[in-house]
Amino acid sequence: MARVFSGIQPTGEVHLGNLLGAIRNWIVDQHEADSVYCVVDLHAITQQQDPAELRNSTLRLTQMLMAIGLDPDVCTLFVQSHVHEHTGLSWLLECTTSFGELRRMTQFKDKSDKTDFVSAGLFTYPSLMAADILLYDTNRVPVGDDQRQHLELTRDVAVRFNARYGNTFVVPEAAIPRAGARVMDLQTPTNKMSKSSLSPQGTINLLDDLKSVEKKIMRAMTDTDGDVRYDVASKPGVSNLLSILGACTDRTPEDAAEGYAQYGALKKDTAAAVVETLRPIQARFAELSNDPGETARLLAIGATKAREVAGPVLARAREHMGFLTS
């Protein structure tokens, strides 16, 4: 079975756009490949962070991924810093990556322009990302456009390492993530739903109180022509509701539009569909957060599974590079 690696940054809250746009697909994907999901807390410290917040967002993201349906018995789900092989390999790869290559990374340019303190880690971030991927003999990495350049660099570094030191790494391919629903802000439906939305009314976080989820959808921005049809350009608000309703009921937005003569009924059904999607996720999340021992146990299983693959790959890289075995 092909191995697929995904890295996920521990960010504050997961919202409906993340769920319907991407994460929900992973539930299916985990059965179709040998899937490795890594919560990349080491990448999170490349920019200044608050320790309590890092701890909290790492824990909550892993619990959320489990609550949504990533099954630690089916896939490998773990926290990057629990598997020391990541930092172990990244140094070897930093020494196989050139300064010039790192300097050309557009994400580095963007991020370093926006901060006063530019850490060395922010600069070498792509070498750590390459380590994440290469440690698992990964065949495919589903990445969005913003990460393509990092993946190209990973491939170049793998090829260079293999040429210098003998065949060591599988050279991974970029894969286009399966398309999910494009969920827009409920108040400004021409913008994507995002955690930095202008209005909290525009974003539904997966842990929002279900009453307030309903209210946010009932108050979503629509238009005045009263016609229910999927037409993103001229009816962004209504189309967004149809995308959401469709995604929650496994239909296309066009099919979801069938039979509605007015916005009230559409909003009511969309609210109900979202509430029914979120209810079991919230229940499972509550169980996990009330039982930290269970989360720790599942993460320990994930880290053990990860190490079983990463350990021998790091040992191989060290040996090929010429380190004495210890």
Distances (CA, A) of 109 to 8, 76, 128: 21, 32, 17
237 lies in the binding site for ligand TRP (CB under 6 A): no
Q: Could you say which of 34, 41, 85, 132 contacts ligand TRP (CB under 6 A)?
A: 132
CB of 134 to ligand TRP, least distance (A): 10
Query: Contacting ligand TRP (CB under 6 A), which of 59, 65, 75, 143?
Result: 143
Q: State the Cα–Cα distance between residues 90 and 112, nearest whole angstrom.
A: 21
Least distance to ligand TRP from the beta carbon of 146, Å? 7
Q: What is the 3-state secondary structure (H, E, C) of 128-184?
A: HHHHHHHCCCCCEEECCHHHHHHHHHHHHHHHHHHHHHCCCCCCCEEECCCCCCCCE
Query: Is residue 129 part of the contact set for ligand TRP (CB under 6 A)?
Result: yes
Closer to ligand TRP by CB, 139 or 188: give it.
Answer: 139
Contacts of ligand TRP in 265-284 (CB under 6 A): none
192 tagged catalytic:
yes
Nearest CA to 148 among 87, 197, 105? 105
**5 counts as binding ligand TRP under rule CB under 6 A:** yes
**DSSP-derived pairing of the beta strands 3-8 and 34-39:** parallel
- Sequence length of the chain is 326
Residue 183 CA to residue 191 CA, distance in Å, equals 9
Judged by CB under 6 A, does residue 47 bind ligand TRP?
no
43, 60, 267, 305: residue in contact with ligand TRP (rule CB under 6 A): 43
Q: Render 179-201 in DSSP notation, one character per residue.
A: P----B-SSSTTSB--TT-S-GG
| Among the listed residues 20, 39, 67, 133, the single contact to ligand TRP using CB under 6 A | 133
Q: Least distance in Å: CB of 135 to ligand TRP?
A: 10
> Where would I find the H helices in 5-105?
16-18, 24-32, 41-44, 51-68, 85-94, 99-103
Residue 93 C-beta: closest distance to ligand TRP, Å: 12
Task: Specify whether the CB–CB gap between 171 and 194 falls below 8 A.
Answer: no
To ligand TRP, the closest distance from the beta carbon of 236 in angstroms equals 27
3-state secondary structure of 3: strand
Catalytic annotation on 305?
no
Q: How many residues bind ligand TRP (CB under 6 A)?
A: 12
Burial pattern 195-218, b for ≥16 Cβ within 10 A else e, equals eebeeebbbbbbbbeeeebbebbe
Would residue 215 show up in a list of annotated catalytic residues for this protein?
A: no
Catalytic residue among 109, 114, 192, 267: 192
Distance of closest approach, residue 255 Cβ to ligand TRP, in angstroms: 32
Q: Looking at 195, 235, 267, 305, which residue is catalytic?
A: 195
For ligand TRP, the closer CB: 7 or 189: 7
Name the residue nearer to ligand TRP (CB basis): 9 or 234.
9
Alpha-carbon gap, residue 110 to 117, rounded angstroms: 13
Positions that interact with ligand TRP (CB under 6 A): 5-7, 9, 40, 43, 129, 132-133, 141, 143, 147
Q: What amino acid positions are annotated as catalytic residues?
A: 111, 192, 195
